[in-house]
Amino acid sequence: MNLPKTLFDKNSLERKRARAGKRMSESFLFQEVGFELKERIIDSNRHFQRVAVVTGCSDFWFQHMPEAKVVTDEGTLKLEVSEYDLVIHTMCLHWANDPIGQLIQCRRALRPDGLFLCALLGGSTLNQLKDSLSIAETRVSGGLSNRFSPMVEIREAGNILQRAGYSLPVADNIKLKVSYKSIYHLIRDLRYMGETNSLLDRKKTFSRSKLFKEANKIYQEKYKSEECGILTTFEIIFLAGWAPDASQPQPLPPGSKATPFSDILKRFEINSEKNKNETRKND
């Protein structure tokens, strides 16, 4: 049996989340994610009686969805099987050592035709910071250390839902452009979000101040914000899928006869012409 590779130091991640405390739930990023997820719940036109939330920021969801069962993103989720109409996995899948396993556990927790929603950081997140630090570290230290987590791209996101057994998978994203005065203000905000480096094989000694001074200079030169300071990107990917159920639309079996789209257009044209002729007669 091939066990998933351990990428993240979960103890380090939990310490950083604990230090961030309530500032995590006050972050603009978590506020934006909460708003977007609630909009998607409304758009589903469903009333959900049993809801569970998987999160690394429990304070936010205790406050904004008090009726839900809120659990932390442990390797084994504390969710009952076939118990929930809606399961939300929010802002922690990008920290999972076994993301497919997390998705499968959420699907098993859903009742048939239950809805799964997920929000996670995508591959474009902090691309300006990655570039600036990489150039600076090459100049200052002559090499690169492991500073940034691998993140899923939007084109891959729908596939992981299918692999986890969800029906009717959908993936979309939003990109937030945020201005900061300097790289130091950005890093401070990342600490408040609990989103700094927790890779298992990260460099565990303090980085030289010269590195960040050089990175800030490069950042200011390459990614200057029109408003003030520097520009930063946060990409949030949203996933939606349903627990399989016989009532859901089913794809045609391979080899099934399907109506070509051109035939549908011809029928539309014929009906349109027929309606025009009847109108002329009535006139």
As a whole number of Å, the end-to-end CA separation of the chain is 77
Please state, as a whole number, how many other Cβ atoms lie within 10 Å of the Cβ of residue 102. Answer: 23
Residue whose entry in the numeric block shows the structure tokens 């084994």: 76
pLDDT digits (tens, 9 = 90+) for 95-149: 999 999 999 999 999 999 999 999 999 999 999 999 999 999 999 988 888 889 8
Whether 229 contacts 121, CB under 8 Å: no
Decide if 173 is inside a domain.
Answer: yes
Written as six digits, the tokens of 116 are: 């799964």
Provide the phi-psi class of 146: left if phi over 0, else alpha when psi is between -120 and 50, else beta: beta
Decide if 57 is inside a domain.
Answer: yes
Check which CATH number belongs to the domain holding 33 and give it. Answer: 3.40.50.150
Residue 203 makes CB contacts below 8 A (sequence gap 6+) with: 145, 146, 147
Decide if 4 is inside a domain.
Answer: no
- How far apart CA 204 and CA 10 sit, in angstroms, is 15
Sheet with 51-55, strands from edge to edge, namely 69-72, 51-55, 84-90, 110-121, 230-242, 167-180
Q: What angle do CA 44, 64, 158 make, to 5 degrees?
A: 40
Q: What pLDDT does residue 250 have? A: 72
Q: What pLDDT does residue 251 have? A: 62
Q: What pLDDT does residue 204 have? A: 75
Whether 200 contacts 146, CB under 8 Å: no
Written as six digits, the tokens of 69 are: 């069962």
Whether 194 contacts 17, CB under 8 Å: yes
Q: What pLDDT does residue 3 have? A: 46
Residue 260 makes CB contacts below 8 A (sequence gap 6+) with: none
Written as six digits, the tokens of 248 are: 């859901």
Decide if 26 is inside a domain.
Answer: yes
Decide if 66 is inside a domain.
Answer: yes
pLDDT digits (tens, 9 = 90+) for 166-178: 999 999 999 999 9
Decide if 2 is inside a domain.
Answer: no
Would the pLDDT of 274 be above 60? no
Q: Which domain holds residue 220?
A: 10-282
Whether 112 contacts 244, CB under 8 Å: yes
Decide if 100 is inside a domain.
Answer: yes
Structurally, the chain folds into a number of domains equal to: 1
Whether 27 contacts 213, CB under 8 Å: no
pTM of the model: 0.84
CA 195 to chain centre: 14
Decide if 58 is inside a domain.
Answer: yes
Would strands 167-180 and 230-242 be described as parallel, antiparallel, or unpaired? antiparallel
